[in-house]
Amino acid sequence: MAIRIVTDSTCDLPEDVRRAAGVVTVPLRLHFQDEVFRDRVDLTDAEFVARLTAGKVPPSTSQPPPGEFEAVYRDLLRDPGDEVISVHIAAALSGTISSASIAAGAVDARRIHVVDSRSVSLGTGFLVLEAVERAARGEPAEQIVAFLETMPPRVGIIALLDTLRFLLLGGRIGKVRAMLGTALSIKPLIALGPDGSVVPVGRVRSRAAGIKRVTELLAEHRPLARCGVVYVGADDDAVALAEQTRRTYPDMDILRQHASPVLSTHAGPGTLAYCYLEASR
């Protein structure tokens, strides 16, 4: 009997972490006109950012087809006692949960537990890590899932975007437009709402002011259980922010990861974000 963990390519856990934990990742899709790429499979981060920066229109994105999940689930459930916990990007942001749920119903819904992280990037990744650790301790799948479903209120993302352009082009701006306006010269600060939808938390005129502000906003959520820095083509800033964060939280493993191409499509180059998990109170 084993519990296997599945996620999708937007979870942004480093590849070595996922590989060591035995996590299976199902990729979303990127559509550059007639070309289709699997997220984190067919393009490197650098290749994707170069395409995104050079293009007039960003690619569209789509969830994995149910058949791809179905193939993964069938492969993982060869032994009758095995179960799968499948943790994914917020339903408010993607149809990935729908594809996973359709596949679970086609294979064996009693043994496949699909979890809406109500987050994205390392926000989803933190739920994946929790599932891995609890499965390794021998907890039953139902107990693990019940705990995962309590986590989203403690998970947060605070992001500094270099421009509103990619949110506007990707149609993800919603109420962010109403609060921040559409001036492309401002640098918006956004977070995720309780259901995983994008909400505005402020705006700044300079990148330095934005980095200072995201650090201040993170401090409001202490004490933390986990934290990571996610970025899009802003390598130097991400390294500096991660090092600064390690000095503030010396006993915490601060992850640093480039955002997946699917997420980068909507956030845009220059994005810098904190993903965090508040400690249980």
Which tens digits make up the pLDDT trace of 52-62? 888 878 899 99
C-beta atoms surrounding 106 within 10 Å: 15
DSSP string for 165-182: HHHHHHT--HHHHHHH-S
Alpha-helical runs (H) found in 79-234: 96-107, 122-136, 141-148, 165-170, 174-180, 207-219
Q: pTM score, two decimals? A: 0.93
Domain map of the chain by residue range?
3-151, 153-278
**Segment 88-111, tens digit of pLDDT:** 999 999 999 999 999 999 999 999
- 3-151 shares its CATH topology with 153-278: no
b/e code 237-262 from CB counts within 10 Å (16+ = b): bbeebbeebbeebeeeebbbbbbbbb
CA separation for the pair 211, 145 (Å, rounded) = 35
Residue 22's pLDDT is what? 97
Per-residue confidence (pLDDT) for residue 191, from 0 to 100: 94
Q: Is 270 exposed, middle or buried (0-12, 13-18, 19+ CB in 10 A)?
A: buried
CATH no., domain 153-278: 3.30.1180.10
pLDDT band at 180 (very low <50, low <70, confident <90, very high): low
Give the CATH number of domain 3-151: 3.40.50.10170
